[in-house]
Structure 1
Amino acid sequence: MKPLEGITVVELSTYIAAPSCGRILATQGARVIKVESPRGDVERTFGPTLFAPATDEENPIYDTLNGGKEALMLDLKKPRDMEIFHEILAKADVFLSNNRPQALKKMGLDYDSLESRYPGLIYAVLLGYGEKGPKTNYPGFDAIAMFATGGFIQDMMVDSDQAYPVYLPMGFGDLICGTILSGAIGTALYAREKSGKGDYVSLSLYGAAMWLFSVMSTGTQFGYQWPRGRYQGGPMGVPYKTKDNRWILPVVNEYERYWKDFCLAVGAEEIMEDPRFCTKQATFDPKNREDCIRYFETCFAGKNADEILPKLVDADIIASELGHFKDNHSSEQALVNGYMSPITYPNGDAVTLAVPPVKMGCMDMPAAQQARPIGADNEAIFKEFGIDV
């Protein structure tokens, strides 16, 4: 038995963040009824932006976020459709939305309006910037509310005279927020078991950014500066290009513990005892740090990646070749762990789709599923709930 079996979620959301939350809840056994307007979730049409198909027959990006849900079409501008929505919501455990506060209030779907009407309901909303402040009703995508406003896009560039801000991330901040919110909903459901009462649960993209970037931002209060240049990173913590034009990134936090092993692995025995480089404190000197990185650059440039990586692994040094997004869908590590799931579409196209990566002993890893067409389940839902239309 899946942990959320018997839980019904009514999802009124679009794009990525809140739908990804609904997707996670569905994989854990919840019944998720996704409510769309007649025009549908705009994410249904996003695929071609990234060269992916976006049809009822094959829509892999939309399916990643919405597989396993029932599809209900309602025009909530029509009084009767709003009545139907409430008839369904009355039997739900969770209401999930990413509409702006002013929009929900206009529809009478704000928390204050629903709390007394449905006292056991978990009201979960994903916001752009939070409930208060000058940006409360601003629209927000993760690229803007998280990565642009929160500092990532500007401060993660490698600083130089010709540097540009990092290319805007697509969706992964949304997916982080959907994941966080799904856990909070689970906590609220657990609390309801003890109190018998529903609750209000919210998460904002901007608030998540404050938390996610806190390790990098806290030190700025004491003088640490971003962005960083190529030669401002730790010598054992920057990417290095190999002879065969691949990149290897080591990350070593215990500098002195791994220094000699690192030097042996990359062929830098000559500097192993050099007092300018062999302690972390010594590399706080900007010139020493740059000289050390430049020396390692020559070491990596003289060897192929397959010569260096196994030696780093054998030395228990955390390191990886830099990958590409395109590698993820055929990764043996991803496939064998069930993080990528194969799916064959009716037209014969066989691809792999990412699935929520949480593994639980009480259930199998989720499988990729096609999302339902707009309104595909109207008739069945109306019949089940005894709704006359």
Structure 2
Amino acid sequence: MFEKRYLVLEDGSHYTGFKLGSDKLTRGEIVFNTAMTGYQETISDPSYTGQIITFTYPLIGNYGINRDDFESLTPSLNGVVVKEACTMPSNFRAQKSFDDVLKEYDIPGISGVDTRSITKKIRQHGVLKAAFVDDPSEIETTVTALKTAEFPRTEVPTVSTKTPYVSTGFDLHVVLVDFGKKQNIVRELNSRGCEVTVVPYNTSADAIIKMAPDGVMLSNGPGDPDDVTVALDMINGILGRIPFFGICLGHQLFALSQGAKSFKMKFGHRGANHPVKDLATGKIALTSQNHGYAIDADSVAETDLEITHIALNDGTVEGLKHRKLPAFSVQYHPEACPGPTDSNYLFDQFVEMMQQNKQKERVTHA
């Protein structure tokens, strides 16, 4: 339980702590998450595929893990870094400890390190490559290897569903294109009576149209949107024909399909406490976020898109809508889990858009 483990960063620094989770030793991009709760949903969010998460909240695991709060069936992150890992959780829903679940899914971690120092380093230098080491004699060679390491850029194909499947509802029909979806997107749609057909990331516009949906959603997902350009033709094939809503990576791909550009952020937005301003109403919402790329605001001016929301912390683009077509997107996570539900109304907005479009079609065909 108190075996030594080392976290090595590409800048040559390393942190000494204790082994947590799997014996497997991995490498990945190290990022930080500022949420105070929701560690189960965080480690099972496919948007973290291939990354090592540093939790800034100092105690992780105190309320355990349960079977209901996973956002994906199989977590796909490459590791976790915590100040203190609770080994004896106390909660009536708890079924396993944080360490148990990390071992079950073969995810390595480290505890007992200065997560504040790591977070400050990432904020100063930007995201860094990192690795876990159990043998201190391997630290120097690991630093050298990290400096030239290239990680696979196939995150979306790895986590997207391979075959379509349906989550039943009784009213509107939504096709959810899965780039690495969180399960709570499906839950939110189902709770509003929507039947949801989840399809692979590379599904064509023709295939989606044949499903006769009332709306199309593009999910969140990991990685660089420029690595998923296969989706751009699909987006342009449905815009104007079917109401559209994009979340996170789906938001970025929506912007790229209309000619906007994306860029890699210095350290990204990851947490459950990010303030976002609605430019139409002036209202501020606290939002759940997880992204390392953003849309270039200047590039939006050359498109048919309009910026609807901005991040108050750094002024980056957080929401877009098409000026002429029933389509909008947000960079943050209105489905929350973890995080506040301030933006949950966006699902109602999408449902209303679908209903209005459906009524328009009835009138047209009458």
Structure scoring higher RCO (CA < 8 A, sep ≥ 6) equals 1
How does the TM-score come out when normalised to structure 2?
Answer: 0.27
Structure with the bigger percentage of strand: 2
Structure with the bigger percentage of helix: 1
